[in-house]
Structure 1
Amino acid sequence: MDFVAGAIGGICGVAVGYPLDTVKVRIQTEPNYSGIWNCVRDTYRRERVWGFYRGLSLPVCTVSLVSSVSFGTYHHCLVRMCRLRYGSADAKPARTDITLSGFASGLVRVILTSPTEVAKVRLQTQTQAQAQAQVRAQLQAQAQCWRSSASCPALPVTLGSGPKYRGPLHCLATVAREEGLRGLYKGSSALLLRDSFSFATYFLSYSILCEWLAPTGRSQPDVLGVLMAGGCAGVLAWAVATPMDVIKSRLQADGQGGQRFRGLLHCLVASVREEGPRVLFKGLALNCCRAFPVNMVVFVTYEAVLRLTGTLLK
């Protein structure tokens, strides 16, 4: 049942938080934005409402599977640990058990989410201005080639052409063709660090907050308590995740018009050297603002589905 509840909760969460996720990715990867509102105004001015939903279709199609695996893995690991350590799956888990199960949940997600994240980030950061910049760069290279009287290949893109990626599936196919299978898992090392530690924080903080907010004599809080615990757990998880999320987004956006970073460490060092340590917390405020309502919805839906299915199966 945790797999089903997690899937439904994940879909509800992505529907609530996707527009702010687009703004967050653009702030992290495009240095020309001075802040959140500057990015929001610029995106709306150039692309209208649709600009905030670029790349949404693939996450919606895959989030049910990913969220199902995340919550299912967490619950499965927790049950196994309780059986091994305490002899019963119904025993109350220690905080160490919850942390390790959350860590395992984050690790498993990476296999499924890395290609989706690559397509999402590429589509979110793709604008017509970038397409035009690519054309200008290609024209300059062609002109330089002619001046040197060298053999010049034909231009791969013509003036007036549209964006490079026409949609999520086209983006995945293009990345696989141009960059190979490794391109689909670009930034996976940063994604691994982001998800493992953030999901350990996520489930541990949710568990602790539920204990604090539960009425006297009850093991679970009411609906308001679940909303508060879920929202706060999401904020704490993103506070832990944001530095690696910045690096992950930059690595995955890299490759549009030339590769800039050689890997995680090079991206980290180059970003800090050029923009200072504050660059690692770009989008932190936005992540936290987005995380609270999204994870309120995720956990209240998750708990409601668990209770409903539990009642129906009795």
Structure 2
Amino acid sequence: MAARVGSSIQLKGLYAGLAGNLFGVLPASAIFVGIYEPTKQKLLTVLPENFSAVAHLTAGVLGGAASSLIRIPTEVVKQRMQTGQFASAPDAVRLIVAKEGFKGLYAGCSSFLLRDLPFDALQFCLYEQLRIGYKIAARRELSDPENAVIGAFAGAITGAITTPLDVLKTRLMVQGSGKQYNGLIGCAQTIIREEGPAALLKGIGPRVLWIGIGGSIFFGVLEKSKVFLSERHSIVDSESESSKQE
């Protein structure tokens, strides 16, 4: 949040929880891709060609489930810091565990999984299917900007669809030991009763914007990295074959 002090606006609150978030997001993303790609490739070889969406959805769910072991505590710490409960990530982890036990780092676990597993599955499936369709229409490999645009579109659409789940996840994660909400269903009922159904769409504009931008960067980098690794692998194989012939 941006705080106003006197006549100036303090913007550092906009980046609250950034360090802790980056610390968790990087390994979580590596785990996700490490599970998603081989699972997708394996499923694509055993499923009929017209079932490619099933492969993408399944791989997205499995990748999301594995990476959630890191993503959930990271999200809890980030949300608590953004609401001003803690000044640093180490303090957040230490005090959450001291007050709520280790399970406090997994507060809102059910709502997080309910949001992120469908999000991961839908975003990656939508991205992959759009790429397949575009490549067929264009009859060529896609350029980096084209991959980025498709990634942005997939992220924005998925972000909009999952906004109510994100609202529930956030409310449950930041409530701490106060327990304002009693579970996922209770949280939804309380929000609708006290704030109206429209409250489940709070923040949809910024969410669509930043996930669209993030999707553009993530998928653009992902495809570029896959091409680089593939070319590198081909060079190594070629050099290995040459050494054998010698």
1:236 is displaced (CA, Å) by 1.7
In the other structure, the counterpart of 1:78 is: 40
SS in 2 for 1:45: strand
Structure 1: distance between partners of 2:138 and 2:217? 25
Structure 2: distance between partners of 1:210 and 1:288? 20
Aligned residues of 2:17 and 2:81 also touching (Cα < 8 A): yes
Structure 2: distance between partners of 1:105 and 1:237? 17
SS in 1 for 2:162: helix
**Aligned-CA RMSD value:** 1.9
Amino acid at match of 1:45: R
Aligned counterpart for 1:116 among listed residues 55, 69, 74: 74
- Runs of 4+ off more than 6 Å: none
Aligned counterpart for 2:191 among listed residues 245, 250, 271: 271
SS in 2 for 1:94: helix
1:305 is displaced (CA, Å) by 1.4
Structure 1: distance between partners of 2:27 and 2:232? 23
Residue pairs, 1:202-217, within 5 angstroms? 202-214=123-135, 216-217=138-139
Structure 2: distance between partners of 1:247 and 1:119? 16
Residue pairs, 1:236-275, within 5 angstroms? 236-255=157-176, 258-275=178-195
Amino acid at match of 1:188: C
Structure 2: distance between partners of 1:293 and 1:78? 24
1:294 is displaced (CA, Å) by 1.4
Structure 2: distance between partners of 1:279 and 1:72? 36
Aligned residues of 2:60 and 2:125 also touching (Cα < 8 A): yes
SS in 1 for 2:176: coil
Aligned counterpart for 1:179 among listed residues 74, 93, 100: 100
1:301 is displaced (CA, Å) by 1.0
CA separation of 1:50 and 1:61: change in aligned 2, threshold 3 A: same
Q: Larger relative CO (CA 8 A, sep 6+): 1 or 2?
A: 1
Aligned residues of 2:123 and 2:155 also touching (Cα < 8 A): yes
Residue pairs, 1:1-314, within 5 angstroms? 43-46=2-5, 48-85=10-47, 94-126=52-84, 164-214=85-135, 216-218=138-140, 220-255=141-176, 258-314=178-234
Amino acid at match of 1:65: P
Amino acid at match of 1:62: G
Aligned residues of 1:213 and 1:225 also touching (Cα < 8 A): no
Cα displacement string for residues 38-85 of structure 1 (whole angstroms, at most 9, x for unaligned residues): xxxxx1524622111111111111211111111221112212223443
CA separation of 1:64 and 1:92: change in aligned 2, threshold 3 A: farther
1:308 is displaced (CA, Å) by 1.6
Aligned residues of 1:110 and 1:188 also touching (Cα < 8 A): no
SS in 2 for 1:221: coil
Q: TM-score, normalised by structure 1?
A: 0.69
Identify, as 1 or 2, the structure richer in helix.
2
Structure 1: distance between partners of 2:176 and 2:216? 35
Aligned residues of 2:28 and 2:68 also touching (Cα < 8 A): no
Structure 2: distance between partners of 1:117 and 1:239? 19
* Structure 1: gaps (5+ residues): 1-22, 24-42, 127-163
Q: TM-score, normalised by structure 2?
A: 0.87
Structure 2: distance between partners of 1:303 and 1:81? 19
1:180 is displaced (CA, Å) by 0.9
Structure 2: distance between partners of 1:181 and 1:204? 34
Amino acid at match of 1:247: L
| Percent sequence identity over aligned pairs | 27
CA separation of 1:230 and 1:243: change in aligned 2, threshold 3 A: same
State which structure, 1 or 2, has the greater radius of gyration over its C-alpha atoms.
1
